[in-house]
Structure 1
Amino acid sequence: MQRKMGTFSLMMTGLGSIIGSGWLFGAWKAAQIAGPAAVFSWLIGMLVILTIALSYSELGTMFPEAGGMVKYTQYSHGSFAGFLAGWANWIAIVSVIPVEAIASVQYMSSWPWKWASWTHDLVHEGQLTGEGLFFASLLILVYFFLNYWTVSLFAKANSMITVFKFIVPTATIVALLAFGFQSGNFTDHPSFTPYGWSSVLTAVATSGIVFAFNGFQSPINMAGEAKKPNFSIPISVVGSVLIATMLYVCLQIAFVGAIDPALVQHGWHQLSFNSPFADLAIALGVNWLVILLYVDAFVSPSGTGTTYTATTARMIYGMQKNGYFPSVFGTLHPIYGVPRAAMFFNLAVSFAFLFLFRGWGSLAEIISVATLISYITGPVTAAVLRRTGAHLYRPFRLKGLPIIAPCGFVFASLTFYWARWPLTGQVLFIIFIGLPIYFYYQSRNGWRQFAQELKAGIWMLVYLLSMALVSCLGSKQFGGRDIIPYGWDMGLVALLALAFYFWGVRSGVVTKHLQEAEQLNNELKRRTQMVEEAALPSARTISSQSK
């Protein structure tokens, strides 16, 4: 590992990942659900993500490896819980590929030029038509073939794309505040919280807020290349989330303020756009911003879609190495080093998601809830490894973990509940679809070993089923049958989350996977010591010269 990345570089990596298609649609979707109060949804989402991200920061510095987010739970609880967490993380990531293609096509559908009038038929009532599916499919194929031979082709333009991602949202904020801001939109239609505070919480889970903040993983995945991981990783993770929050809050304020009051006269729920910010810019006559937004609608989503095409292929490759998939998915092309079988599998899954969920909003909901399921294991794993892996080298040791970890687990559980029934049940069904795959390949290793793995990970299965039951029986404000009253339902979720957190921590064991991961940790420690020792002579030379 070449430790050349400083704090600023890692922070830019996180920001570049967080600012994707989420900014193009997130403000509209959040306003549609919660009205002007959606501003608070971004702040709550920030708090939820930070408590989770800090736990993963410690794990990422301990095990700096590709695809680490799908492996950590296997180190602390074995293959059963590891599979559930890894499968949920893969579902959340692979579905990003079609959602980025959908984002580009939806913005394309509102091109205002006469020669482009045919694009208006690409989307109908927020869903892609047959023509729209065709163009989205072409974009997915572009992402695929940019990775088919090598990922370096697109990676070379990454820095320029990241800068572009900053310029366009900032220009959008300035333009909307300058040309169309109406403060009355925050109080007059009919109030700041037109649908109550429960809608503010639902917006956190389903409007794309969790989806947008998902990019905090990037600095963690780059931990092995940080000059000073004990300093750079937590600063870059926290810094990228905080800066992105400021940007998203300003975008939300600018979006709400620029809305024509006539559009929300009958409620914010009626607010409908195919390309939200571009439609506002057209209405305000800011032509230069319209062109900039249409360009970015292809640049930002395509950058993310191409990157995630590479990432998901490596995830399938890693899961095959863990024994969850056929051996064909673990083969690399002898020349290009690309796991092509895994890429074709992800391509098929991407098309399935594209044709099942044809709108950005509906697919972003699936991604957000699946992401939350994959996140819940991070705080538990970090706490378990404090006990089972106390001897391991930790470049960064999170202070306050005994408090931050359970808070992160509770916040993630509450956000999952806020996603509303039946969406919570539908995503859990998608997660459980993977269990037959796990049972088949685990049976080949012997049922005695399976019993041990199940004992360590059964808490997660019971937790997910319990959350689905509470979501179904919960208050009507969150889509339930109203058997558990509003207010009491969130209290019950918090108590259950605490109980399952401590059950999960106690279930952690010294797994064979952790013993294998110790080699990576020892290598990290050895290389870190080599770097530090190599730096000492230089430091002494500089000191003597200064004297």
Structure 2
Amino acid sequence: MQKSVENLRREIGLFALTLTGLGSIIGSGWLFGAWKAAKVAGPASIFSWIIGCLIIICIAVSYAELGGMFPESGGMVRYPQYSHGSFVGFIAGWANWIAIVSVIPIEAEASVQYMSSWPWAWAQNMYDGTHLTTSGLVLAFFLVIGFFLLNYWTVGLFAKANTIVTVIKFVVPLLTVIGIYVVGFKTMNFTHVSGGFMPNGWSGVLTAIATSGIVFAFNGFQTPINLAGEVKNPGRNVPLAVILSLLTAGVLYFLLEFVFIGSVPSSMLSHGWAGLEMKSPFADLALALGIGWLAVAMFADAVISPSGTGTVYTATTARMIYGMEKNGYFPKIFGTVHPLYKVPRSAMWLNLAVSYLFMFLFRGWGELVEVISVATVVSYMAGPVTVMSLRKLVPDYHRPLKTKGLAVIAPIAFIVSSLILYWSRWPLTGQVLFVMLIGLPIYFYYEAKRGKETFLKNFKAGLWLVCYLLYMMLISCLGSKQFGGYNIIPYGWDMVVVAVSALVFYAWAIRSAYFTDQLKEAKSLNQPVEYENESIKKVAQN
């Protein structure tokens, strides 16, 4: 049963919402992503960021249209249910929740890992080079509590705090780009290191997109969508915030990778890019170049950037649980909103507990980032399918942002998402896809209460997604050795097979869509809003 979102307080404007999206994107990804991508792809990792950003924009365009159509909190886990029913809705929502809730502990761990390079013994004892120690875990524990408390009383406090934090953590990476470029940049690093410009070929460039934190870094575009129920003028502000935050962050990440590649001292590259070991990458680089003031700024920002992102994701994941409860797959208590502070507190408590579970299972940034990236890609699959299905099912619904060329962009987004999943390398793809299927008993438990006819209708509409996930596990296993497979499908042809297969599954998914009860009930959310001025209206429409 569709519940009203009017009891959530609409306080967030375009500027704060854009900064919220930017705040989600610029987190621990900038602290570690450039170094990790360079280890996998060498100087060619600059291509990884460009390709990765373009792929995410294709996916985000689909969700931006949906966010404008249905401005509700937890929207990312609601939209697939509108076009394909509860089975697809649950799998997509489960994957998205797993991917997003695990960001909270990874941001806390990133802060502690960077702090371990501070010149004090107590700080250096928090990280042993691979995992957080007991003292490091204790500090991470309190950081997560801080994220929680900033969201506990009001969304307004969260938005104000995030605006300040985002401005700070955007300035520090920008100073990093300028400072390192001026002091230590040299073009010879792009060609004269062992292996040359592209030491691992294009397979390295593509694997870096999937596993080096690039997909993870851009994942924050979801935040403005998931907060849509608390946004002023959401039909205009949500799509604009998504696109603006992605473009701004994309330029910054490219510049960070570019100056990182060009400024690593030759003494650190004696074993090539794959052998480049750093504890706190950009801070270590600043110290090696003698830029002490910049290292100090980065050590401070290593607390601010991940903490800001962790705070944002604490808000986002609570709205996702709120949305999944509305879908009917969590106890009703998680769909309640505090009558005074207007935040879903019960959902926040659940996510706090799950965050601590992830923290104790994965005690380092590198351990979690690959798992999060693959789970994130799985959650993206439903967006392009849903937006085009709704164009077919409800062409008359109001669309504040109707993207031109989406009939081409959407299948391309589905294909490239499938390729990212494949590039993640076997056996990681199989392991994470298996985790995606573990949540099905929860679905079957709640769905059993709704009757056989409803179950069969939803199962038929979602059969394509289960078959797709199992098929991708098989292809990843049989694929080329460059992507960890058994080399039964040779390199080059493997990506052709994935692309063609993805197009087949996309067509199947579109044909499986039907006019669900939830879509009918969501009509109340799909209401035109007045734009504040005509120039903004033209931007949104074009």
Give the TM-score of the pair, scaled to structure 1.
0.91
SS at structure 2 position matched to 1:157: helix
Q: Does 1:179 align with 2:183?
A: yes
2:254 aligned to 216, 232, 249, which one? Answer: 249
Q: What residue in structure 2 maps to residue 170 of structure 1?
A: 174
Runs of 4+ in 1 over 6 A off after TM superposition: 1-7
Counterparts in 2 of 1:142 and 1:16: CA distance versus 1, 3 Å: closer
Tell me by how many angstroms 1:106 deviates: 0.6
Counterparts in 2 of 1:486 and 1:392: CA distance versus 1, 3 Å: same
2:267 aligned to 262, 265, 269, which one? Answer: 262
Q: What residue in structure 1 maps to residue 136 of structure 2?
A: 132
Q: Distance in 1 between matches of 2:357 and 2:339?
A: 29
Q: Distance in 1 between matches of 2:69 and 2:154?
A: 29
Q: Is the 2:278–2:284 contact (alpha carbons within 8 Å) kept by the matching residues of 1?
A: yes
Q: What residue in structure 1 maps to residue 49 of structure 2?
A: 42
Q: Is the 2:75–2:323 contact (alpha carbons within 8 Å) kept by the matching residues of 1?
A: no
Q: Distance in 1 between matches of 2:162 and 2:410?
A: 33
1:452 aligned to 450, 457, 479, which one? Answer: 457
Identity of aligned residues (%): 59
1:332-347 equivalence runs, <5 A:
332-347=337-352
Counterparts in 2 of 1:214 and 1:5: CA distance versus 1, 3 Å: same
Q: Distance in 2 between matches of 1:486 and 1:345?
A: 44
Gaps of at least 5 residues in structure 2 are 1-5, 535-542
Q: Does 1:122 align with 2:126?
A: yes
Q: Does 1:57 align with 2:61?
A: no
Counterparts in 2 of 1:194 and 1:535: CA distance versus 1, 3 Å: closer
Q: What residue in structure 2 maps to residue 93 of structure 1?
A: 100
Q: Does 1:419 align with 2:424?
A: yes
Q: Distance in 1 between matches of 2:141 and 2:115?
A: 14
Query: How big is the alpha-carbon RMSD for the aligned residues of Structure 1 and Structure 2?
Result: 2.2
Q: What residue in structure 2 maps to residue 29 of structure 1?
A: 36
Which whole-Å deviations, capped at 9, do the CAs of 1:328-387 have from their partners, x for residues lacking one? 323344544443332222122111211222221221111111111111111100111011
Q: Does 1:321 align with 2:317?
A: no
Q: What residue in structure 1 maps to residue 414 of structure 2?
A: 409
Q: Distance in 1 between matches of 2:247 and 2:339?
A: 42
Q: Does 1:390 align with 2:395?
A: yes
Q: What residue in structure 1 maps to residue 219 of structure 2?
A: 214
1:362 aligned to 367, 370, 376, which one? Answer: 367
Q: Distance in 1 between matches of 2:337 and 2:238?
A: 30
2:117 aligned to 110, 120, 143, which one? Answer: 110
1:484 aligned to 482, 489, 496, which one? Answer: 489
The letter for the 2-side match of 1:180 is: G
The letter for the 2-side match of 1:186 is: F
Q: Is the 2:226–2:319 contact (alpha carbons within 8 Å) kept by the matching residues of 1?
A: no
Q: Is the 2:24–2:313 contact (alpha carbons within 8 Å) kept by the matching residues of 1?
A: no
Tell me by how many angstroms 1:221 deviates: 4.5
Q: Distance in 2 between matches of 1:8 and 1:326?
A: 35
Q: Distance in 2 between matches of 1:485 and 1:262?
A: 37
Counterparts in 2 of 1:205 and 1:173: CA distance versus 1, 3 Å: same
Tell me by how many angstroms 1:228 deviates: 8.8
Counterparts in 2 of 1:11 and 1:136: CA distance versus 1, 3 Å: closer
Work out which of the two has the higher radius of gyration on C-alpha atoms and give 1 or 2: 1
User: What is the number of equivalent residue pairs in this alignment?
Assistant: 525
Q: What residue in structure 2 maps to residue 66 of structure 1?
A: 73
The letter for the 2-side match of 1:83 is: F
Tell me by how many angstroms 1:223 deviates: 5.7
Q: Distance in 2 between matches of 1:314 and 1:62?
A: 18
Q: Does 1:237 align with 2:249?
A: no
1:436-451 equivalence runs, <5 A:
436-451=441-456
The letter for the 1-side match of 2:111 is: S
Counterparts in 2 of 1:218 and 1:330: CA distance versus 1, 3 Å: closer
The letter for the 2-side match of 1:167 is: V
